[in-house]
Structure 1
Amino acid sequence: MRLALLALLAKEPAHGYELKQSLEQTFGAAYPQPNIGQIYVTLSRLEHNGLIQGQNVSQSSRPNKRVYEITEAGREAVVEWFAEPTDGPRVRDEFFMKLVLAPAAGVTDRAALINKQRRHYLNLVRGLSRLAAAEDRDNRAAQLLIEGAALHLQADLDWLERCQEELE
């Protein structure tokens, strides 16, 4: 969340609620909706670390609002974030740990684990399909996010098949 807020502030100064709205509009319902409390805590930390600076703005009929703008150090952090590749596939996978340790634990078998996980992934795929149908077609970022998640789930389903073939 920290770097996403910095990236938004690199465009223009904003207050917390504007940043929340911008995240929601950009990513649509496909992305977990940000908690406004989390946004304000993150903004406070960013300000404390010198990556943004805030200024209180008076409002006549409402409480003052704090508008934040990115500092040079914050801009450098955003540039570094975009320059670095994102982590690749997860190697420490909790499901795989369960799958490998199931025989030793003796509380379930691998086939049951695989079948339960497969059902879970299929339910997630159905949910993504409903989300894609409900999402605004003009929001390409949200559509790409949904498509990417569906492709990851399909890869996970294929991997489950491979696990079942190898481990049984």
Structure 2
Amino acid sequence: MRLHLLALLAGGPAHGYELRQALEKLLGPAYPLPNIGQIYVTLGRLEQAGLIEGRHVSQSDRPDKRIYEITDAGREAVDIWYESPSEALRVRDEFFMKLALAHRAGRPDQIGLINRHRRHCLNVLRSLSKGERPDPGDDHRIAELLIEGATLHLQADLDWLERCQEELE
């Protein structure tokens, strides 16, 4: 979440609630948002690391708020993040490791493991397909792409689970 918040702050100063609202608007209801406490803890750590600077702003009708602004070091971290390839390999996937280690751990029912994971994937797929859709607007396309990407990954996982079952039976 550190780099996500830094990327948002690269667009301009904001306080914690504004950052959470920006994530919610951009990513839509399908993306699990961090709670506000996580955001403020992360902002504190980013400030300690010198990647952002915070300042108090007085408000007459509300408690003071803290506005955060990205530093040059923070911009450099965001630039490095954007230039670095994202990890695409899923060989360290938790389910893959469960399947690979099941027999050695005395859990020989690999088919049962596959079936439980298949049910989980199908439930997530169902929730995505009938879930709440993002509000129309400039950012709704990103949220729709997120849902589409998650759906395609789940479908690929289901195909792979089928392949695993065929191989292990």
Shift of 1:84: 0.6
Q: Which residue of 1 aligns with 2:122?
A: 122
Q: Which moved more, 1:100-109 or 1:88-97?
A: 100-109
Any residues of structure 2 matched to 1:80-159 within 5 Å, and which?
A: 80-107=80-107, 109-131=109-131, 134-138=133-137, 139-159=140-160
Q: Which residue of 2 aligns with 1:44?
A: 44
Shift of 1:108: 5.1
Q: Which moved more, 1:88-97 or 1:6-15?
A: 88-97
* Higher helix proportion: 1
Encode CA deviations 1:99-118: one digit per residue, 9 max, x unaligned.
23334444451221211211
- Same amino acid, percent of matched pairs: 68
Q: How many residues align?
A: 167
Q: Does the 8 Å CA contact 1:137/1:143 hold for their aligned counterparts? A: no
Specify the SS of the correspondent of 1:45: helix
Shift of 1:80: 0.7
Alignment root-mean-square deviation, CA: 1.5
Q: Which moved more, 1:101-110 or 1:31-40?
A: 101-110
Q: Which residue of 1 aligns with 2:62?
A: 62
Distance 2:96 2:80 in 1: 33
Q: TM-score, normalised by structure 1?
A: 0.92
Letter aligned with residue 126 of structure 2: R
Q: Which residue of 2 aligns with 1:27?
A: 27
Q: Does the 8 Å CA contact 1:114/1:164 hold for their aligned counterparts? A: yes
For structure 1, list consecutive stretches of 5 or more residues without a partner in the other structure. Answer: none
Q: Which moved more, 1:148-157 or 1:134-143?
A: 134-143
Q: TM-score, normalised by structure 2?
A: 0.92
